[in-house]
Chains A and B, each alone.
Chain A
Amino acid sequence: MLAYILRRLISIPFLLLGVASVSFLLSQMTKGDPLAALVPERMMSNPEIVAAVKAEWGLDQPLPIRYVRYLGNLLQGDMGTSFSTRRPVALDIAERLPATLELVIAAMIIGTFMGLALGLLSARFRGTIVDSVARIFALLGSSLPVFWSGLILLYVLSVQLRIVPGTGRLPPRVQPPPDVTGFYTIDALLAGNFPLFLQVLSHLALPAFVLGWAVTGIITRLVRSSLVEGLSLDYARTARAKGAPERIVLIRHALPNAMIPLLTILGFTFAYLITGAVLTEAIFSWPGIGSYAVRAAASLDYPAIGGVTIVGAVAFLLANLVTDIAYAWANPRIKVH
């Protein structure tokens, strides 16, 4: 097992090299002109300024040189300088990644628990009103666009009922906790500042729920169908023949079997959300990777696009690795060599 994990880890840099190359080439092939972001429009007619800017950002070099230089810098952890923020991309990302991770992890926890609970309920009481309600709730989560459900909930819960605070990670003019992990929840606790922790949590609750609701939909459907299938299989009949009540057949027998497909979906969803939480981040003014990626793409900020792509790729590779390990653990029939 250990050797397997090690082998997988070793393969990651090579895969990243491929991802970096493809993202570099693709962004070079786009029709847009990054100069538009770098040079004010009225100076575009001045060839000297344009040439100077090109030279400063290395855009005057031929493609192969730029490619090699980019990869060389990448090896040293340098993702280049963002055209729009004029700061190192790595620094931008390091600042924003914890915000996204905190949101996505919270959403995954909410989505997994709700999905498992609803899936179990609707499998246990299939065909009844409980089943219908659970399935409709799940269906809404996966079919309502986040920008709609997020806005409505924000309006109702925050503006009208004032149950939850507004957007952002903290109220304006509240100092974030001292930076240790970048997760405000953890940092607030590390600082021993419990009131601040509660404030952070209340700001996290709604966006995490909105994003988690979308995840709930996928998980509920998967868990329900796996459980219902499991309950009709021979092992469930054996359990009943032993005298097990339906509740035990469901939880002790069908559920462990349903975990196997669930793990795959969880890993994939997590990785997807790292760069896919864009809309939620936009609605809740969440300073994460998603909103950064949108701005980078809109302004043809190549270094930033490349940086986000690599972060997304790393997220997928790690999530896949963790999924495979968890898979082998959940399914004793799999032997890893």
Chain B
Amino acid sequence: MSPLLKTKDLRIEFRNDDGIWAEALCGVDLSLDPGEVLGIVGESGSGKSIAMMALLQLLPRGARVSGSARFKGQELIGMPPARIRQLRGKSIGCVFQDPLSAFNSVLRIGDQIAEAITLHDRSMSKRDALKEAERLFELVAIPQPAKRIRQYPHEFSGGMRQRAMIAMALANRPELLIADEPTTALDVTVQAQILDLLRDLRKDLGIGMVLITHDLGVVAGIADKIAVMYGGRIVERGTTDDVFYHTAHPYSAGLIGAVPSLDGTGKLQQIDGTPPSIFNRPSGCSFHPRCSQVEEICRMQTPELESVGETDCACHLPLVTRDAKVAE
């Protein structure tokens, strides 16, 4: 089976006010099969969102993108604007973090969803597109769709707005859904409902998803595989189970330790310090200033992503081999 999405050495550079270029994404390889769910996990600034925005050429002006990203074999990087527009919203749908600001506040929700349809299907009338919007509202379980499509974004609750946003992203039955922090702006209980909805959609529609989040708990129940990002690189990559149960990278381990568990056993861990700015990256492994197990080599040399135990991990001293050493 050919992959739905495959990136190779994807790099993004930004320039600061002094005209200095810096890499925000330092060569990322990802791959996603049709119908698969990939969770990209990392703190803000790790490069997880911009990597996905780069695929659709939605980065702010002035960003420099290189490397390769293929969607069903078509190269997305450097694709002419007219062709990438045909993919946006048609083959690749997007859900954004804050549905209040992501919707246009002066246009009715139904019209905004209908627009997503008519932009790609000129033959569809506005009236038919609104009918379709109603049907989509039923799909994402928004009650009273006929009434709701005539309302404005501010008349929706946060959870309902995100459902509407998902409905809009699904309007043209895309093969890939990119969800950028889809639950972050929502209440915890609503978060769970939205995740349930995404899980159901994935099951019913067989849609491939990239779920971007800073919260490992969000991807745990839905993703097939996980990529953990730090400082513009993938530091650990593997199936969801392997990343959780055979964690190799100290950063992933820190993130897992920072997820509260329901049984309340064990102290909630934290990772000290803050993520580095792209204009001021530490030498060697960019995680080394925050790593509790740092050694000399970590300051000198950037580790490569390679197969370690059950997962791929970019660390000089992955936890699995360390355990083995201890055992010896």
- Stretch of B11-19, B98-106, B191-199, B248-256 contacting A (4+ beta carbons < 8 Å): B98-106
Show 7 residue pairs from A and B whose CB-CB distance is below 8 angstroms, ordered by the A residue. A238-B168, A239-B104, A241-B56, A241-B58, A253-B107, A260-B106, A333-B106
Known: A241-B96, A332-B154. 14 other contacts (CB 8 A): A234-B96, A235-B104, A235-B105, A237-B96, A240-B58, A241-B56, A241-B58, A242-B88, A243-B85, A243-B87, A243-B116, A244-B89, A244-B115, A256-B107
Q: Tell me the nearest residue of chain B to A249, going by C-beta.
A: B104
Q: A75 within 8 Å of B by Cβ? A: no
User: What's the tally of chain A residues with a CB closer than 8 Å to chain B?
Assistant: 23
Q: B209 within 8 Å of A by Cβ? A: no
From 141 to 167 in chain B, residues with beta carbon under 8 angstroms from any chain A beta carbon are 152, 154
Q: Tell me the nearest residue of chain B to A257, going by C-beta.
A: B106
Instruction: Provide the residues of chain A in CB contact with B124, threshold 8 Å.
Output: none
| Interface residues as binary, B105-143 with A (CB distance below 8 Å gives 1, 0 otherwise) | 111000000011001100000000000000000000000
Q: A245 within 8 Å of B by Cβ? A: yes
In Å, the complex CA distance between A242 and B106 comes to 17
Q: B90 within 8 Å of A by Cβ? A: yes
- Contact across chains for B94 and A238 when beta carbons are under 8 A apart: yes
Instruction: Provide the residues of chain B in CB contact with A238, threshold 8 Å.
Output: 94, 96, 102-104, 168
In Å, the complex CA distance between A127 and B168 comes to 33
Q: Tell me the nearest residue of chain B to A235, going by C-beta.
A: B104
Shortest distance in angstroms between B115's beta carbon and chain A's nearest beta carbon? 7
User: What's the tally of chain B residues with a CB closer than 8 Å to chain A?
Assistant: 28
- Contact across chains for B119 and A243 when beta carbons are under 8 A apart: yes
Instruction: Provide the residues of chain A in CB contact with B94, threshold 8 Å.
Output: 238, 241
- Contact across chains for A257 and B104 when beta carbons are under 8 A apart: yes
Instruction: Provide the residues of chain B in CB contact with A260, threshold 8 Å.
Output: 106
Q: Tell me the nearest residue of chain B to A233, going by C-beta.
A: B101
Q: A143 within 8 Å of B by Cβ? A: no
Main secondary structure of the interface of A (DSSP, over half): helix
Shortest distance in angstroms between B117's beta carbon and chain A's nearest beta carbon? 9
In Å, the complex CA distance between A330 and B104 comes to 13
Q: Tell me the nearest residue of chain B to A126, going by C-beta.
A: B61
- Partner pick for A243 among B98, B103, B107, B120, CB 8 A cutoff: B120
- Contact across chains for A242 and B89 when beta carbons are under 8 A apart: yes
- Contact across chains for A242 and B152 when beta carbons are under 8 A apart: no
| Interface residues as binary, A222-264 with B (CB distance below 8 Å gives 1, 0 otherwise) | 0000000000111101111111110010001100110010000
Instruction: Provide the residues of chain A in CB contact with B115, threshold 8 Å.
Output: 239, 242, 244, 252
- Contact across chains for A332 and B101 when beta carbons are under 8 A apart: no
From B101, B106, B119, B154, residue with most partner A Cβ within 10 Å: B106
In Å, the complex CA distance between A260 and B81 comes to 31
Shortest distance in angstroms between B167's beta carbon and chain A's nearest beta carbon? 12
Instruction: Provide the residues of chain B in CB contact with A252, threshold 8 Å.
Output: 107, 115
Q: B283 within 8 Å of A by Cβ? A: no
Q: Tell me the nearest residue of chain A to B86, going by C-beta.
A: A243
Instruction: Provide the residues of chain B in CB contact with A243, threshold 8 Å.
Output: 85-90, 116, 119-120
Residues on B close to A: CB < 8 A? 56, 58, 60, 81, 85-90, 93-94, 96, 98, 101-107, 115-116, 119-120, 152, 154, 168
Q: A193 within 8 Å of B by Cβ? A: no
In Å, the complex CA distance between A238 and B119 comes to 13
- Contact across chains for A242 and B116 when beta carbons are under 8 A apart: yes
- Contact across chains for A242 and B96 when beta carbons are under 8 A apart: no
- Contact across chains for A332 and B152 when beta carbons are under 8 A apart: yes
- Contact across chains for A256 and B106 when beta carbons are under 8 A apart: yes
Q: A73 within 8 Å of B by Cβ? A: no
Q: A61 within 8 Å of B by Cβ? A: no
In Å, the complex CA distance between A330 and B152 comes to 12
- Contact across chains for B105 and A241 when beta carbons are under 8 A apart: no
A235 in contact with B103 given A242-B168, A244-B119, A333-B152 (CB within 8 Å): yes
Shortest distance in angstroms between A252's beta carbon and chain B's nearest beta carbon? 7
Shortest distance in angstroms between A226's beta carbon and chain B's nearest beta carbon? 12
Q: A85 within 8 Å of B by Cβ? A: no
In Å, the complex CA distance between A242 and B152 comes to 18
- Contact across chains for B103 and A331 when beta carbons are under 8 A apart: no
Instruction: Provide the residues of chain A in CB contact with B120, threshold 8 Å.
Output: 243
Instruction: Provide the residues of chain A in CB contact with B90, threshold 8 Å.
Output: 243
Shortest distance in angstroms between A332's beta carbon and chain B's nearest beta carbon? 4
In Å, the complex CA distance between A253 and B88 comes to 17
In Å, the complex CA distance between A232 and B152 comes to 21
- Contact across chains for A242 and B119 when beta carbons are under 8 A apart: yes
Instruction: Provide the residues of chain A in CB contact with B104, threshold 8 Å.
Output: 235, 238-239, 253, 256-257
Shortest distance in angstroms between B245's beta carbon and chain A's nearest beta carbon? 35
Instruction: Provide the residues of chain B in CB contact with A239, threshold 8 Å.
Output: 104, 115
- Contact across chains for A241 and B106 when beta carbons are under 8 A apart: no
Q: Tell me the nearest residue of chain A to B106, going by C-beta.
A: A256
Shortest distance in angstroms between A234's beta carbon and chain B's nearest beta carbon? 4
Instruction: Provide the residues of chain A in CB contact with B105, threshold 8 Å.
Output: 235, 257, 332-333
In Å, the complex CA distance between A244 and B93 comes to 13
- Contact across chains for A234 and B168 when beta carbons are under 8 A apart: no
In Å, the complex CA distance between A242 and B107 comes to 15
Shortest distance in angstroms between A201's beta carbon and chain B's nearest beta carbon? 36
In Å, the complex CA distance between A240 and B86 comes to 11
- Contact across chains for A241 and B88 when beta carbons are under 8 A apart: yes
In Å, the complex CA distance between A235 and B104 comes to 5
